[in-house]
Chains A and B, each alone.
Chain A
Amino acid sequence: DSGVTQTPKHLITATGQRVTLRCSPRSGDLSVYWYQQSLDQGLQFLIQYYNGEERAKGNILERFSAQQFPDLHSELNLSSLELGDSALYFCASSAPGLQETQYFGPGTRLLVL
């Protein structure tokens, strides 16, 4: 158990809908990262937050957004969902400081029908 929690574990929805994925980092960690893992692609970095502020952006679509709240939990919002958004979404957290080890949550499996 990494100490990072993600809810829900599974999510099934329809095209065009909007969903919210939630992540709670390890105690004391200030950074939260979101990754997407599709069947035909590896783990792709989406976005990073540090203590409530956006720190870095990766291959995140404009239909996707994220935020980190004062209690440091984070939410990833996916809107206007398409079939191709079906994937595993992982959250990771790390302690303050450069080059800190990231610890990953169990993921949310999203299926868009």
Chain B
Amino acid sequence: DAKTTQPPSMDCAEGRAANLPCNHSTISGNEYVYWYRQIHSQGPQYIIHGLKNNETNEMASLIITEDRKSSTLILPHATLRDTAVYYCIVRVGTGNQFYFGTGTSLTVIP
């Protein structure tokens, strides 16, 4: 089963781009990479997902390397409200269950 590795914490200045890396070196060819964030103890919030092409939506951009062993979530203009724990997730098991890992605690600094 694929698992993920993320740095435990990062800081980013307000207004700057936040680049959050994730390693998923054992991901299989048909598995998507998902990104969620959790603010305080709220329910995890979906951000974006992708398979092998770069993706962009109103919240963020997702860059996936060609070998699919790693990806980077980009928040283009971080705000204080983006302070949260960010999880890079892949599916495990026979169902659609997610492996969350420990995530990256992002702090946006004024």
A residues contacting B by CB (< 8 A) are: 2, 4, 31, 33, 35, 37, 42-45, 48, 50, 55-56, 58, 88, 90, 92, 94, 98-107, 109
Contact across chains for B43 and A31 when beta carbons are under 8 A apart: no
**Closest chain A residue, CB of each to CB of B102:** A42
Please report the number of residue pairs spanning A and B whose Cβ atoms sit closer than 8 angstroms.
68
Q: In the complex, what residues of B have CB within 8 A of residue A2's CB?
A: 43, 45-46
Name the segment of B12-20, B62-70, B93-101 touching the other chain.
B93-101
Contact across chains for A42 and B42 when beta carbons are under 8 A apart: no
A-B contact pairs, 30 of them (CB 8 A): A2-B43, A2-B46, A4-B43, A33-B96, A33-B98, A35-B100, A42-B100, A43-B87, A43-B98, A45-B93, A45-B99, A48-B96, A55-B94, A55-B96, A56-B95, A58-B93, A88-B41, A90-B43, A90-B44, A92-B44, A98-B96, A99-B96, A100-B96, A101-B46, A102-B46, A102-B96, A102-B98, A104-B36, A104-B45, A109-B41
Contact across chains for B45 and A48 when beta carbons are under 8 A apart: no
Q: In the complex, what residues of A have CB within 8 A of residue B96's CB?
A: 31, 33, 48, 55-56, 94, 98-100, 102
Bound complex: CA A90 to CA B95 (Å)? 17
**Closest chain B residue, CB of each to CB of A37:** B41
Closest 7 CB pairs of A and B: A56-B95, A104-B43, A43-B100, A45-B97, A55-B95, A48-B95, A104-B44
Q: In the complex, what residues of B have CB within 8 A of residue A103's CB?
A: 46
Q: In the complex, what residues of B have CB within 8 A of residue A90's CB?
A: 43-44
Instruction: Report the interface size for chain B: residues with CB under 8 A from the other chain.
Output: 24
A10 to chain B, nearest CB (A): 11
Contact across chains for B100 and A58 when beta carbons are under 8 A apart: no
- Chain A proximity mask over B20-50: 1 for CB below 8 Å, otherwise 0: 0000000000011010100001111110010
A1 to chain B, nearest CB (A): 10
